[in-house]
Amino acid sequence: MTHQIIDQYFYDEPAYDYHDGGYVPLEEPATPQQPLNIPEILQPDQETATDMYYTITAQTGAVQLLPGTKTKTWGYNAPLLGKTVIFKKGKTIHMHLVNHLPEVTTFHWHGLAIPGPIEDGGCHAPVYPGESRDITFKINQPAAMVWLHAHPCPSTAEQVWHGLAAAAIVQDDHEAALPLPRNYGVDDIPVILQDRRFHEDNQWDYRADYDPDGVMGPTPMINGTINPYFDVTTQKVRLRFLDGANRREWRLHFSDDLPFTQIAGDLSLLPRPVKMNKLMITAAERQEIVVDFGNYQPGDEVILYSDDTPLIHFRIHQFTPDNTKIPDQLFTTPDPAVDPGLGIHYVTLDGCDESVAMNGKKFKMDRIDYEMPMNKVQIWDIENTNDRPGMIHPYHMHGCAFTVISRNGHDPLPNETGLKDTVVVNPQEHVRIKVWFNVPGVFMYHCHIIEHEDGGMMAQIKVIDPKNPDKQYHLMNHMTLMKAFAEERGVPMDQLWLGGMDSYKKMGETM
């Protein structure tokens, strides 16, 4: 293990979100502390030695988040967020996806390397109200925390804001053999970081809060809990962080500058654990840490902060001493050879507010922007063209894992040396990544400030299967989905409002 403690957040501080003119500072809730909600594990409808069967239902709900009126919410198999789905490497997954919402949605499996566009669940796989869709795919990737969220263009951000975001965990034999905490709900905890603004009668109002650079709220919401505490009953606790916010960056640290050990990133364990006392996570990233509370006594409290705002109060109880050590070697990150016949592919993340684009163009659902053969390896160069100080863009790819090669020619950060699907790109920075797809289909790649992707900072790749190179994919257009939204909301098209539409209209473009 690296013995030096990392005590910085990395990235370009002048580009942090708190410098943005529309930044909404977090505020400590004034309401009483509540037990941290730990999402239940979703039980499969059926499981065999080779297959797992699940029903995932998108539904409306109401949750007692604050005293007074319940907040109207959406969730998966739950009134808010969702139950945690377990995937086992090597098994075939059968999903029955049901939409009990009042409008069209999609079910995107963020981080799963599964075919696209239908199984992946991007904008081309709509499930209309009262209808369902069945998909099947195989899990062939390392242990990691992935997640499920809605992805209907251009209303992804609004539906995630309603609550459509849930954790999923990929399990494999390698991770299971390591001496790591994994008693779910006791010492292995998903931590979904989000923020909200509460309006009249404790309700959310996405349109009132809309910002094309990313919607924020002043109230931290952790696993759908306001002002949570967690009872610590084991010396070591594994926290699986997911930044499920539309825009907010979280700069995490504990009281007393308590050090912790990062063991995993987006899509795998890290090759080696990294000791740190500060961790910054951006939209859609996952970071897993192990915290050792061995120096505390029953009755003590340790607080997790983002900047200066308390997020979770860890209440220390009696626990059995734990002398297990995290191994110095956790994972061997794949490093496949780059195909010499494929040149470097360049991607630019352009603009901010309504002017956002990728490679100078706004996203079109029925346009393929790039083609790449399956099972080939290529270097992609991702550039944030914003002038400094600018803003950070978290760049995400569907359907694959990648490795970070360099940042402006320098080594990647110590905690981004495993497999990733989302990477931070600073203003005026080139991040080079090694990309390969093991599954065919059409996939999106985009900024994961969700209002940016809705506003057009997104593109599509067609991954070609050499065994079926002529396969064609039916690509919907934006208008098909927008007409559905208008009909479901009972408004004429000229009165339909979806956040992403503004970005196209204000730049004089059609969707």
pLDDT value of position 502: 87
pLDDT value of position 3: 65
C-alpha dihedral (347, 351, 353, 356), degrees to nearest 10: -40
Say whether the peptide bond before residue 389 is cis (omega within 30 degrees of 0): yes
Give the angle subtended at the CA of 75 by the CAs of 364 and 313, to the nearest 5°.
115
At 4, the pLDDT band (50, 70, 90 cuts) reads confident
User: Which helix H or strand E contains 505, and what residues bound it?
Assistant: helix 499-506
Of 3.30.830.10, 2.60.40.420, 2.40.10.10, 2.40.170.20, the CATH number of 34-176 is 2.60.40.420
Of 3.40.50.300, 3.40.30.10, 3.40.190.10, 2.60.40.420, the CATH number of 345-474 is 2.60.40.420
**Where, residue-wise, is CATH 2.60.40.420 in the chain?**
34-176, 182-316, 345-474
For residues 154 and 501, is the Cβ–Cβ distance under 8 A? yes
pLDDT value of position 353: 95
Q: What is the pTM of this model?
A: 0.97
At 219, the pLDDT band (50, 70, 90 cuts) reads very high
Q: Which residues contact 384 (CB under 8 A, 6 or more apart)?
A: 348, 349, 390, 392, 393, 425, 426, 427, 428, 429
Q: What sign results for the dihedral spanned by CA atoms 264, 224, 196, 305?
A: negative
At 510, the pLDDT band (50, 70, 90 cuts) reads confident
Rounded Cα gap, residues 193 and 100, in angstroms: 25
Average pLDDT, the chain: 97
Average pLDDT for 229-240: 98
* Range list of β-strands (E), 307-376: 309-316, 345-350, 357-358, 370-373
At 2, the pLDDT band (50, 70, 90 cuts) reads very low
Q: What is the CATH T-level fold of the domain 182-316, as seen in this structure?
A: Immunoglobulin-like (2.60.40)
Q: Is the pLDDT of residue 1 over 60?
A: no
For the purposes of burial, counting CB atoms within 10 Å of the CB of 284, is it exposed (0-12), middle (13-18) or buried (19 or more)?
A: buried
pLDDT value of position 202: 98
**Residue 123 structure tokens:** 């904008």
Rounded Cα gap, residues 357 and 201, in angstroms: 37
User: Which helix H or strand E contains 82, and what residues bound it?
Assistant: strand 81-82
Q: Is the pLDDT of residue 385 over 80?
A: yes
